[in-house]
């Protein structure tokens, strides 16, 4: 079993390390993450490797013999899907990804019916899972919990990998991977992902998907980030500081219509009112300018795409759904394949998948 170099640090020391250092400490010898916790763990080479693997897996999965091969890969492993925050897509896509690779799954979706209700600490719960399972996929309210648990497990006798499936308002690295995979597939025959303008619209203060995606997009040349939101819902200064450090160009605005014609991708998000500090806080903000419909889509380039991590409310009107530029349903399915690739890579299955692909396609 892998021993992470994270064990050389106390939790306080580890937590204070720069993201880049943490990323290296959480990596396997091949450079891919052992624990997938934040977007900064992926450089261009790792993103490309995962996307290529996802595309091969989806080809292989088209046939019965291909599915039999894929299901044999991790037949000997079990995964705990520990989701204490609501989820449909991320839960189902991870569940499906496990099924594709033959992993059997267990799940906790409500801490109130686990021993946490009896006062067990999160640390003890996670160590309990690590006694029965070989992988933990977790979604929590709490920023940094997956990271702390990875450190706890790294010190234990069964240091199994953890995949962060959404941590509070902070990060959602696998959503960012599926977003990049979608962008890559959309632009691969049209000059690639470099030199693109990306509009992020909606609740950028509390939406974790945009935080992870803007991070991952730093791996591509000359991306222009346009953050479109009502002032109280604008992107955090920490993200702008990071863009500044990396010399990336960005615009912070509340004028969606002005920038729609310049966008190559428009990434809509929902108002995350579950984080409201007082009842009706979000409802008092005028968000009417941060919605799109078929009429407004006419302002977008014919080659631009419309994305959304889903679930949506009314920020994308249903009359957009039949527009060929609406990518959100495909985005969701891409999520299943990139998560399958990530789990396969976590357990070092790439070379067997590549060999099968070479022999059969």
Token output for 133: 């399972």
CB of 199 to ligand NCD, least distance (A): 17
| Residue bearing tokens 């979604």 | 139
Map residues 71-100 to x or -, x wherever contact with ligand NCD holds by CB under 6 A. Answer: ------------------xx----------
Catalytic residue among 62, 118, 284, 358, which? Answer: 118
Instruction: Establish whether 109 is a catalytic residue.
Output: no
Residues between 5 and 64 that touch ligand NCD (CB under 6 A): none
CB of 87 to ligand NCD, least distance (A): 6
Name the β-bridge partners of 80: 106, 136
Contact between 206 and ligand NCD (CB under 6 A)? no
Token output for 334: 């891409």
Instruction: Establish whether 90 is a catalytic residue.
Output: yes
CB of 312 to ligand NCD, least distance (A): 8
Name the β-bridge partners of 108: 82
Instruction: Establish whether 139 is a catalytic residue.
Output: yes
The neighbour count for residue 234, using CB atoms within 10 Å, is 18
CB of 54 to ligand NCD, least distance (A): 17
Instruction: Establish whether 330 is a catalytic residue.
Output: no
Distances (CA, A) of 73 to 105, 224, 238: 15, 40, 40
Total count of residues recorded for the chain: 361
Among 198, 287, 309, 340, binds ligand NCD (CB under 6 A): 309
Instruction: Establish whether 352 is a catalytic residue.
Output: no
Contacts of 143 (CB under 8 A, 6+ apart): 167, 168, 169, 170, 171
Contact between 209 and ligand NCD (CB under 6 A)? yes
Residues between 150 and 189 that touch ligand NCD (CB under 6 A): 166, 172, 175
Beta carbons of 243 and 210 less than 8 angstroms apart: no
Could you list the beta-strand ranges (E) of 23-99: 78-83
Catalytic residues: 89-90, 118, 139, 172
Residues forming the site for ligand NCD (CB under 6 A): 89-90, 166, 172, 175, 208-209, 269-270, 309-310
């Amino acid at each position: 079993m892998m021993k992470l170099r994270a064990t050389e640090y106390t939790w306080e020391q580890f937590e204070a390390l720069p993201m880049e250092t943490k990323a290296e400490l959480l990596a396997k010898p091949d450079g891919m993450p052992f624990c997938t916790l934040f977007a900064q763990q992926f450089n261009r080479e790792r993103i490309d490797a995962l996307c290529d693997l996802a595309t091969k897996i989806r080809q292989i999965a088209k046939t019965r013999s291909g599915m039999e091969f894929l299901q044999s890969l991790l037949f000997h492993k079990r995964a705990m899907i520990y989701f204490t925050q609501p989820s449909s897509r991320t839960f189902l896509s991870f569940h499906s990804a496990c099924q594709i690779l033959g992993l059997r799954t267990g799940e906790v979706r409500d801490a109130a019916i686990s021993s946490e209700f009896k006062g067990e600490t999160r640390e003890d719960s996670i160590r309990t899972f690590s006694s029965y399972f070989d992988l933990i996929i977790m979604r929590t309210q709490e920023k940094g919990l997956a990271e702390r648990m990875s450190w706890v497990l790294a010190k234990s006798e069964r240091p199994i990998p953890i995949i962060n499936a959404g941590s509070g308002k902070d990060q959602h690295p696998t959503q960012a991977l599926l977003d990049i995979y979608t962008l890559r597939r959309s632009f691969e025959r049209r000059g690639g992902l470099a030199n693109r303008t990306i509009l992020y619209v909606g609740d950028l203060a509390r939406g974790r998907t945009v935080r992870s995606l803007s991070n991952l997009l730093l791996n591509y040349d000359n991306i222009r980030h346009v953050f479109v939101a009502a002032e109280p819902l604008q992107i955090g200064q920490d993200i702008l500081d990071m863009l500044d450090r990396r010399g990336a160009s960005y615009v912070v605005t509340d004028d969606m219509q002005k920038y729609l014609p310049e966008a190559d991708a428009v990434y809509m998000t929902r108002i995350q009112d579950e984080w409201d500090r007082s009842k009706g806080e979000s409802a008092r903000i005028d968000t009417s300018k941060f919605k799109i419909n078929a009429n407004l889509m006419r302002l977008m380039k014919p080659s631009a795409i419309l994305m959304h991590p889903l679930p949506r409310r009314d920020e994308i009107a249903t009359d957009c759904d039949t527009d060929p530029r609406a990518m959100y349903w495909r985005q969701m399915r891409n999520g299943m394949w990139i998560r399958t690739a990530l789990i396969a890579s976590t357990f070092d299955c790439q070379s067997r998948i590549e060999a099968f692909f070479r022999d059969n396609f």
